[in-house]
Structure formats: C-alpha cells, structure tokens
Structure 1
C-alpha cells in the first residue's frame, strides 16, 4: 500500500510496511473485513496489525489511529505541495527507500537507473515525500522536452524563476546558492549530455544543492552515485508467495480494476507466474493487472507471448510512453544509434543469461564488427537494456523478457533472425562438444555448471536446427557429446530429439558411427529393442571398441539369449579401451558389464574397478553412479549389506559436490530401497512416491520402474493388492522396455507374489514361467491379456 504518509516519526516507532498498509486503510474508515480483502490477508492478521499499531503509536482505540492519520496527512500535504499527487498506492520498495534515504543525505548527486517501466519516477517521488532530512523537493520533469530541447529553461520554469534576459545558467546558480535545495530531475535519458553539463556546473558552484535524477543510464558527472532500481521482488520459481512485492502490486491494481478480486489459493500460482514472466517490471504488471476485468490470471499468463498487443491501454493521465509496454520500450530503443540497436536485436537470440565472450562470439558478424560490439554493448548496459549480475567471479548478462521480446520483433523486421540463430546454434554446440573431456572429469563441476546454465540455449539451438532442417548440425551436437550424456544427465528432451533424428537419413562416416553409439546407449533408458536396433548401425571397422560398447550395452538389456554375447562384447570393449589408454571408457564398459553379470562377486568386482578408474579420472558423477549400482546389487542379492550404508553416503556426497540433480535422485532411490530392506517402510514409501514424479518428469523410465517396484512392495505389505498389482504391472512393462532382463524377472516375481497373496496361484505360476523364459518381453502382452487385463 501507500507509503506517502510514512514520516520519520512512524518509522522511528518501528511501524512495519504491512502495519503501514493497515494504518492508512483504517484511516480511510475501512472495516476489518474490507481491509483483509484489500491486503489478501485474514481478519485475524488485520486485528493483530491494529493492536501492534496502537501499542507502537500510543493510541487508545481505532478512532485515535484515524486522528493520527489525519494529522499526518495534513503535514504531508503542506510539505508536498510542489509534487504531483499520486493517483494510486505505492507498493513495496521498502529496502530501496531506506537505501536511498541514506544516499541522498550523504551524496549531492544520486542517479536512479533502470529499464523502461522499472518505476524510477515513482520511486523518486516517493522518496521525496518520505524523507525528512532534506528540504521540500522541487520536481524538474524533462519528459516533454524533445532531444536537444532547452534543458536550462525547464529548470527555471520548475523553480519559478524569471530569467529576464539574463543567462539561465547564471540565474540558476544564483538562485540555488542561497539556502538548501533539493531537485528531483526526472527523465534525463534523451537530454543526458545537456543535463550532465548543467548539473556539473551547478553542483560545483553551489554548496547546499542535492539532486536526485532518473535516467536509463548514468549521467557521468563527477561525484555521481548511481543506484540501479531493481524489478519488484518476485516469489521463487514455482512458489506462490503472496507477500512478494510484485504479487502485492498485481493484487492491488487488479482489485482497483475489478473490485472484489483477490489473490487466492486457486489463482496464486498463476499470478506469481505472470509476475515472473514480466520480470517484476511495475509498468508491465500494472498493465496486466488492468486486464483482470476481462481475463483470469491463468488466461493472462497464456497471452503473454503476445504481450505487446495485449499490454496496452494504460491509465489516462499517464505519460504517452507509459500507456503501453511497447511504447515504453520504444522510447529507450529510439535513443540508440543503429549499431547499438543491431547488437540489442541480436542479443534477443539468447533465451536466458549469457557471458561476454559468448555474446561477442555470436552477434559479431557483418555488418557488425567486434569493435562495434565492444563499443555498443557497454552502452546497452548503461541504458539498462541489458542487465548484469555476478555469479562468483563471472559476470552474466541477460535481457529482461519484455526487452527480449521487443528486440526480437525488431530483429525479425530488420534481417529475419535466421543468421543470428544459426550463429548461436553453432557457437553453443561447439562449446558443448568441446567440454566432453571436462565433463568426464578434467573439470567436471565447471562443465556441468555450464550445461546447467546453458541448457536453454541448447534447447533453442536444437529448435533452430530442426526448423532449418539442419539434421547433420543437430547430430554433430548430440553425437559430439556422446557418452558424456551419461554424466550430463539424459534429459527427457534428448529422447524427443532422437525421435526426430531417427526419422531422417542416417549421417555418413565418423558422424554416423558416433551417432549410432550415442543413440544406442541413451535409448537403453527408454527402449531396449530400439537400442539394439540402433547399435547394429555402429561399424566394427570404424571403431571396434566403441561399436562393441554400444552393442554390448544394448544387448545386455534384451533377451536372455543375448546376455552372454553382451558380456563378451563389453569385456572386449573394456580391454580395448584399456589398451588404448582410455580409462574413462574402460570404466564405462565395466559398468555395463556389471549390469549383466549374473554372479554377485563378479558384478561387484567390475563395479569396484570402474569406481576406482572414475576416481582417477576425477569423475565425481560416474563414481557416485557406480557406488549407487553397487549398493543396489548388494541389496538385491542380499550380500555385503554392512557396506551399503557407506556406499550410499559417499555417492550422496559426490553427487552433491558435482551439483547434478539427476545423480542426487539416483542416490535417493537406492537410499529408499535400503530403507525398505531395513524395515523403514513408511519412510521408504514416502521417498518412492516423491521420486516417482521427479523421474516421470525426466522421462527416465528405468528409474520410474524402480520407484514403481518399491511402491508395489509397499502396497503389498499394507494389503492393498489392487494398488500393488497396478504399480508392478507398470514396473514390469517399463523394465521390459529398458532392461536389463533381470529387472523384468524380479518385477514378475513380485507380481507373482501379489497374485499368490490374492489367492490366484494359477496367475502367479504363469508369471513365474514368463520370467524364466528366454525372452519374457515377447510374452508380456499375451500374459497380461490372458490374466483378464490385470493392468
């Protein structure tokens, strides 16, 4: 709510922002129910705020609060006579107001910078109304001046000085030399050079002048303190924090547009998402909230892709450039020169943040040169069209989403956007492929952090490759990352890419070989049949080791008849990689071999060696993954259980150090499985249920099957046989798709136990027979249909 009547005595009394909101609404004679609706809180919370206000301000009852508010408003109206009266409430910005109150009392020139629509003017005027340490402020509004217009005359008019034929600067200096003065100089960006020259002269020739300026960028006057106005506070991703500043502004403006509107449990997530999509920009949020008369928050959210056609018709009485979001951004864009516009437009190719070297490498092509970029990019930063933040020792940049949409529209009009999208795709693909060794251990945390931060770029680049039918370019990226996908994490979207690529002609030569190996190993997580089919495309003559790796990895997840051959292929692949001095791929082959070994000691020996090799390579993720598999096999075979806890603990610590979400989830599965084996049934069931949704989102079907197996066991134990059957049937089907074969057999045995418990031994017998078959996958559909559609 409005902080207009927040003089120093209220702040000194310890009145909080929410109590202040309540104070002014009480002063407006609203009852508790109406106040609660306006603030989106409970009546009990309102009562608590009123009690706190009475205690802090020494009031005796509600009437005394009304009287205090009336007195304070009288004082403020007398002080603020020279400032325009606000037509709507002021929301949030408590921290910024406190910061600026200190700055303007300590420094003679403070400049508020920020993008169009960030609320610089409103913040400056609010500060002028709430700061008691300076004399009453005089507003010098330069918005109506054309570029090159008479800046000095605007100052004299604001101060009410008659120049009488004398030089305006001399008159201003003389007038401001007597007594203390505070000027709020608003909208300097289009006349910045003239304003800077005038303020430099005035500040150097007067002693008691304080200036608060607003501009898109610094004025570059000696002694200037630059304060970047941030967007309004946002709720965290996926959160629905109704007290976030942006959400409070939306709620306030929406309630004004459609009385009775409130943020509720039902619409809070959509309101928060709207505010995030609009980057917390006050202008954009106000324009969106005004549309609540016509659309629900969910409908607003769905229309933000076309925000410039949608966010129009700002309040009458506002400046023209603030009537629509597009006009506000156009004001900033028109102040750029053509080189700056071109760089801004090309920066719109980035869907998220980017670093300096990346953006320079992508956007510096004809007619723009690297020298043009080096000159233009800092100007875009100065004008707040590009924002920056520090991540450790790295500076990252991005365009606010509304700026990006606007700049992209200009790019399409200028040059179509195809060239910069192609540049972007080739740059990020080359960077991703070049990080292969680092992903496998030479600098894994750095490489994984890069993939995490740049995933949006890679998705956008693949969209361009498919849209432009550059399938070889797409394969260059997917196959170039290769076996490192097992470390990066096989995102669900990778399977979508493979689905599209596998419908196209197969690439020739070394690229085709790498594509076959990559696709065969990745598809093991989704379909053993497809994996085996693709592995056959790998050429032994081109690379015997990698071909055996792909065929062994895929074949080990197929019918029983192929397991012996898969073990032979993976042993030979491991030996070939070892002889070639490639310990990482030797270790990778050994993990595949361990998965198809039928002897516990042999499987765990393979795991032990591969874990050590991954340690030597510096690969935290794969060592964690091997320890996870060791623990899982030990639990399944009921061997070395005294070591399982240690393996899980080390795997968890390594996954956390690597910062890979997928491997953290893998460790959580084995921890839940161990809990279940140790009798911690309720804890295990809760973990499996939470993990199931995570792995469904990632489309990791192997791990979905493991979660369903755990939930099936839990339901069997609790006697809910229908639920147990449903979970285990799906677990069997997914295990049949992804392998290895033993997972299918294990799940069928659990399902047979359910049928036995349900008094259906004939069904149980059929399931055990299928599990013992050479190719249980081929029998599954027949089995389930014969059981009266148990699924």
Structure 2
C-alpha cells in the first residue's frame, strides 16, 4: 500500500465521499477513484463499506504500540497499581506533578501493563504552541486527514466506533483548549478512554486526578545506580559510596529527571564530589545528549517550562515562597510574602491555590494543618528569579523577623499551656529559624539574634540542645553582650546552655549576668534569673555548697514573684546539688509535681529521669526506678520531646549496667552515641562513651575499651563532669592492668580517687575498687602506695595520651 493509498483509506474509514477526499488531499476526484479501486483489489474486498471496516483495522495496526523507552523503569509499584485501577474505573485520568517527577514515564508504564486488547495512541502536545489548536495534533496522532472545518466531526466519527485509548501527554501549556476538546469527545464518544499528564488538572467533568510524587529514597537510589552504571560501567553502589548517593537523591528531592542527569555526571565526578557541586545544580545538571526533548535537556529548562506558563501575579508569589527553606503553612506564608500594595492578603488567597494546581507547590496534611513546600530544585529556581527581580533581600528580612519574633511568643505554651503545639512549631519551623538566625548573624543584627535566643531562654531546657545552637552562641559571644535587660537574658540563656559543654565558661557568663542585673531599673525578677543561672553553673561545676545557697535564694524569690515554672526549675537545681539521696529525691519530687501542675510534661519527665539517675549513681535499686523511667519515657514520647526520650534511654542503659548486664547496656549506648553527637549534648555523649567502653572491657576488647573511655574522660573534662571523669579513670585502670601495665593502672586509679574526693559525699561515684586495689598491691608491692600517691597528684590530662 502506497502512502497516498493509506491516506485515502483513512479518509474512506472516516466516511468521506470521493469529492471530500479529493478536497482534503488536494487531488482530483478521478485520482481518488483510482486509489479506491486499487484498495478494493489489494485488500480483497468488493464493497466500499468493507473498506471502512478495513480502514479501522489498518488504523489500529498502523498506530502500533506506544514508544518504548530505552532505559529501564524503576519502582513505582504502588503508583502503577493505583493508576491502573483509576484508568479501569474512570474514562479520564490525569497525572499531575512537578516538573521532572516522571509523569510521562509512569503513564507509559501503566499503559503498557494494562490487559486491554485495544492499542493505546500517544497524543504528545509538547511541541504544540500555546495558541495553536490541539485538534490537529489529535487528528495527526490518530491518522485522520481532513480540512480544518471537518476535523472535529472526523475525530468524533472515528472515536465513536470501537474502543479507543489515548495517552495525552504534556497538557499543561494547552490545558484550556485540551480540556474543551476532551470534554466534547468524551461526551460524544462513550468508548473513549484518556490518560493525560500535565502540571495542572484539566477540569473536565468526571476527571480523576492522581498526583505523582517524587521517588521514595530506595527507588531513587536504585534509579541513580542504574543510570550511573550506564554512564560509567565500572560504577557499583556499595558501602563506600552509598551515603553520598543517598545524600544526592535527597538533595534532588527524588526527582527522576534530576537523578538521571546527576548520574550521568559520574563520568566526571565521584559521588562525594557530585554532591558538593549540587549547589550549582542548574549548570551541572544539563543533558548534552540528543535523545531528550528540549525542556528535558536540563533541569532548569524543565522547571522554566512551568514557570513561563505562570501569570505575573503567580510568578511573584511563587518567587517569594522560595524564601522558605522547608515546609510552611498558609498563615505563615501570608504573613511573610504579603506586602501591600505589591501583594495583598486577598492576592495570596486567590493565587496560592493556582500554584498548587500547577504542581509548583507540594502539600501534605498532618491532622488539621496543611503544610506546603517547594521541592529543593524548584525553590532554587524560584529564588534565582526573585534575586534577578531584586526582591530577595527584602523577603529574607521579612521571613527572618517573622520567625525571630515568633519563637519567644510560644513561651507560655512551651511551659505548659500548649506544650505539644509549641514543640511541634519549633520542630517544624527549625529550618526557618536556622535561616533567620543566619540572616541576623550575617547582616550583623546581633540584637535580633539575641532577642530570639534569650527570648526562648529557659525554654531551651524544654526544647533540648541542638548542635548549631552552640555554634550561634560562639559567634554571638565573640562580641559584648547587649546592654540592659536583653544582656541579662542573654547571659542567663548562654550560661544555662554552656553547662552542656563548658561549665567554666558557663559560670563566667552567669556571673557576668549578675553584674549586668545589678542596675536598679532592671527589676527583681531579672536579678532572680541571674541568681538561678549562677546556681546551675556552680552545680554543674561540682561546687555543690555554693550552688545550694544560690538555689535557696532563687526558690524564695520566685515564690515571691509568683513564677511557678522558675520556682520548679530552681527546686530541681537544689535537688541536684543536694547533700544526700533523701534530700535530693524530696526536692525532685516537689519539682516534678510542680511541673506536672503547670502542664510542663517535658520537665516532669526530666525530674523523674534525674530521680532514677541519682539512685543509680549511688548504687541503690529502689523498686521505683523502672516505674519512674517508664513514665518519663512515655511523657517524652507523648509531648513529643526527643531530647528527654534520649535522656530516658541513657538512664535505662545505665540501669542495665547496675543489673550486671554490660553487653545489653553497651549495645544501647552504642545506638545513642550518634544522637548525642548530632544534638551536641556532650555530657550525655561522655556517659554513652563510658558505657560502650565498660561493655568492651567486660568483653575483653581492651583496646576498644581504652579508646572509648579515654574519649569519655576528655569530653567530661571539657564539661566539668568530675563524676564521669572518676568513673572513666577507674575503668581505664582496669584496662591498663589487663594490658600488663600495673604501674600505669595505679596512676589512673589514684587520679580517679583524687577527682572523686573533690565531690560532695552524696555525689561521689561508687568506684568498686577493692578487687582492683588488691591486684595492684600484689603486683607492685612496695611501689604501690607511691604510684597511687603520684596518681592523686596528677590531672587526667597528664595521664591520657594526646
């Protein structure tokens, strides 16, 4: 069959007469008659109506199957099942999603797996100009030739007979004309089924929508590995590069297009080098191959394709939303990006849903609140457009001020009024807080940074320490503290936080706060806060008696101020500086009950943990320990407070030690190590290293034990935790003796006794040294006492390897 004969057959199948066919093909009617005669002969039929049936069969054969991508399809098992189910139940299904998420690949995959006898026809609208009619593209895809006047009727006629399955790809830029056409065709052709892809819904009655999400982490890594092996056959995903590959996939939000483009760059860069260079992702992720369409040749082009379809007000709102580094809610967006008269509240309400419809915003609902975010690559693109427009600096300032002022406003909730809500706010907004504090530090607006950090103040006791918080403090404390009340609040906050890492510095800062608070205009409550801070710094520095004096004053003063929260916090400090176990437990019970009445479940949890910890410290095993820890962990998980949960886990591991189960305790401590490294809690990090070392010692792994114990002692020195220093040195002495070094063991044990002697009797650790002392006396003989004496006169730094 010649090409001209094929054209004539298609038009005969469309029930055109010879004259109409001649007009459509710009040939004479006699030529058409000749082709019809030839077709009757070639197809072995005798009547024209038989040619109509043959035309339908030929059209199906000629259309053939959808194009098959050369690369393999990864993951999407759940999505495939869900979309296939929709396609079988609805006549129009539209896949939506952000640029580069893989809508076309998923649609092709689903179409190829459905058990339908009919053949799918691809209608690709990518190259159609926004103002061009889409009817012609549909007709060309279906092999229908007719003039413009009859094109729609021909489409209807062809699609009205038999089952027809269309995959209509890339609808976003011609969504309006496509929706009008499909509304017409689906309304008149009852056996027509359409699977469409685009950034926005088509809005046709009966349309079923499916939002295609980025790949799950495991799927993204498999895709990266497959494409990387094609670009560099020697590449294998293994333990050496898996962390970098995972980080790359996270950085690219699991977008298949971005991952494929990144994997191709392994010919030039290692995975770790590639991750670093993703800061300039749009220059890096450009596809120089010839197989992709223009808008899929670079990541930037794919996003720009969607951006250029936006109206001006949509572009402005889209660009301004790029200031959010993570998720955000509508009210926060409205507060930050609204800037009358450029953008009013009404503008945000009107335009915001459009960005969602265009898949430039992603949404996730958590309970009653909907959270939004821009995928990282889309955010980078939007922010570059905002910078070109000249509006980035102003929006960054609005974003920073909103969050720096918003954090302290949650304090009443954080301390009990709505603790769970406040904890959620800080957890969800932490990326914004990080960006806001960096803005304040980088622009030299130190008062704004202090206003936030000290405005949260003692609330950090509830929120828990974070490693970067200490980095911010280091930068801020390079400069003088602000004057007046803000300076006192800054000193109090900084001293309490520094107790986690450097008790000497904490005490110095707290005393500076007392000096600043001496001004008559600052008020009694401010001076009480400074007094309390000195008490905490003294307690952590091992100076229990002066600490008790400060806490007694603070308790009386806060009771007079009617400040129940700081009264309970001072009672907790008084307990931890207590002379004996009974005194300590009594004050901790008072503090726990007071926090519970206020509604501060996190601090109640903390007091219960302290009660259990103190009993473990002195080797006591009251039946209440496990009860306290179970309640503490339940409270921490219900709030939720990750820091207190971790504290409870540390205490449970120590309880395992007390019960004579060092291996179980060591495994628990090993799991907790990275958590405390991440948040920068050096005191608990030291305890965990001690626990890992003790377990290794009991297992006979003396080198591993010595390494962990030495690290524990070094960290405890920096935090001023003499109790942990003494315990670590005693265990190091056991390691030294087991390794054949009795003299060094005696030095370490003597040093441990010297450090323990500096603590109050109620705070001294139970070193359990009788057996070790006996072994050392037998081994060293007359030199034993001299070695012990030398050890008592030494510092831990003298005895630990550098």
Asked if TM exceeds 0.5, the reply is yes
Task: Establish whether residue 520 from structure 1 lines up as the match of residue 520 from structure 2.
Answer: no
Instruction: Tell me the SS of whatever aligns to 1:435.
Output: helix
Moved more, 153-162 or 705-714: 705-714
Whether the 8 Å contact between 1:105 and 1:134 is mirrored in structure 2 is no
Q: Where do 1:391-790 residues align within 5 Å?
A: 391-538=366-513, 539-540=517-518, 541=520, 542=522, 543-558=526-541, 560=543, 563-639=544-620, 641-714=622-695, 727-739=708-720, 759-760=742-743, 761=746, 764-765=749-750, 767-769=752-754, 771-772=756-757, 783-784=794-795, 787=798, 789-790=800-801
Whether the 8 Å contact between 1:137 and 1:183 is mirrored in structure 2 is yes
1:192-238: CA deviation from partner (whole Å, max 9, x where unpaired): 11111122222222322222221110111111111112222323xxx
Whether the 8 Å contact between 2:709 and 2:732 is mirrored in structure 1 is yes
Instruction: Tell me the SS of whatever aligns to 2:289.
Output: coil
Whether the 8 Å contact between 1:557 and 1:739 is mirrored in structure 2 is yes
User: Offset of 1:140 from its aligned partner?
Assistant: 1.8
Instruction: Tell me the SS of whatever aligns to 2:106.
Output: helix
Determine the C-alpha separation between the residues in 2 that align with 1:92 and 1:78.
31
Q: Which residue of 1 aligns with 2:364?
A: 389
Q: Which residue of 2 aligns with 1:15?
A: none
Determine the C-alpha separation between the residues in 1 that align with 2:233 and 2:727.
61
Whether the 8 Å contact between 1:134 and 1:182 is mirrored in structure 2 is no
Moved more, 725-734 or 408-417: 725-734
1:277-323: CA deviation from partner (whole Å, max 9, x where unpaired): 22221211111122222223233222211110011125313211111
Q: Of the candidates 253, 263, 281, which is equivalent to residue 237 of structure 2?
A: 263
Unaligned 5+ runs, structure 2: 1-59, 764-789
Report the RMSD for the aligned CA atoms in angstroms. Answer: 2.9
Determine the C-alpha separation between the residues in 2 that align with 1:783 and 1:260.
56
Shift of the 174–439 alpha-carbon distance from structure 1 to 2, 3 Å rule, reads same
Unaligned 5+ runs, structure 1: 1-76, 236-243
User: Offset of 1:79 from its aligned partner?
Assistant: 8.5
Q: How many pairs align?
A: 704
Query: Please, what TM-score do these two structures have when normalized by structure 2?
Result: 0.82
Q: Which residue of 2 aligns with 1:39?
A: none
Shift of the 729–166 alpha-carbon distance from structure 1 to 2, 3 Å rule, reads closer
Moved more, 435-444 or 399-408: 435-444
Determine the C-alpha separation between the residues in 2 that align with 1:742 and 1:721.
22
Q: Which residue of 1 aligns with 2:94?
A: 111
Q: Where do 1:143-162 residues align within 5 Å?
A: 143-162=126-145
Whether the 8 Å contact between 2:749 and 2:791 is mirrored in structure 1 is no
Whether the 8 Å contact between 1:745 and 1:772 is mirrored in structure 2 is no
The structure that has the greater radius of gyration is 2
Shift of the 467–416 alpha-carbon distance from structure 1 to 2, 3 Å rule, reads farther
User: Offset of 1:575 from its aligned partner?
Assistant: 2.0
User: Offset of 1:268 from its aligned partner?
Assistant: 2.7
Shift of the 173–703 alpha-carbon distance from structure 1 to 2, 3 Å rule, reads same
Whether the 8 Å contact between 2:223 and 2:259 is mirrored in structure 1 is yes
Task: Establish whether residue 163 from structure 1 lines up as the match of residue 146 from structure 2.
Answer: yes
Determine the C-alpha separation between the residues in 2 that align with 1:234 and 1:731.
35
Q: Which residue of 1 aligns with 2:320?
A: 346
Q: Which residue of 1 aligns with 2:80?
A: 97
1:664-712: CA deviation from partner (whole Å, max 9, x where unpaired): 1111111121211111121122222332333233221211232244345
User: Offset of 1:723 from its aligned partner?
Assistant: 5.9
Query: Please, what TM-score do these two structures have when normalized by structure 1?
Result: 0.83
Whether the 8 Å contact between 2:754 and 2:792 is mirrored in structure 1 is no
Q: Which residue of 2 aligns with 1:288?
A: 262
1:365-387: CA deviation from partner (whole Å, max 9, x where unpaired): 24222222222211111110111
1:233-255: CA deviation from partner (whole Å, max 9, x where unpaired): 323xxxxxxxx3x2232233223
Shift of the 729–185 alpha-carbon distance from structure 1 to 2, 3 Å rule, reads closer
Q: Of the candidates 118, 124, 130, which is equivalent to residue 135 of structure 1?
A: 118
User: Offset of 1:582 from its aligned partner?
Assistant: 2.0
Moved more, 341-350 or 149-158: 149-158
User: Offset of 1:770 from its aligned partner?
Assistant: 5.1
Determine the C-alpha separation between the residues in 2 that align with 1:719 and 1:95.
49
Determine the C-alpha separation between the residues in 1 that align with 2:102 and 2:166.
18
Instruction: Tell me the SS of whatever aligns to 2:794.
Output: helix
Whether the 8 Å contact between 2:501 and 2:718 is mirrored in structure 1 is yes
User: Offset of 1:589 from its aligned partner?
Assistant: 0.7
Determine the C-alpha separation between the residues in 2 that align with 1:132 and 1:233.
27
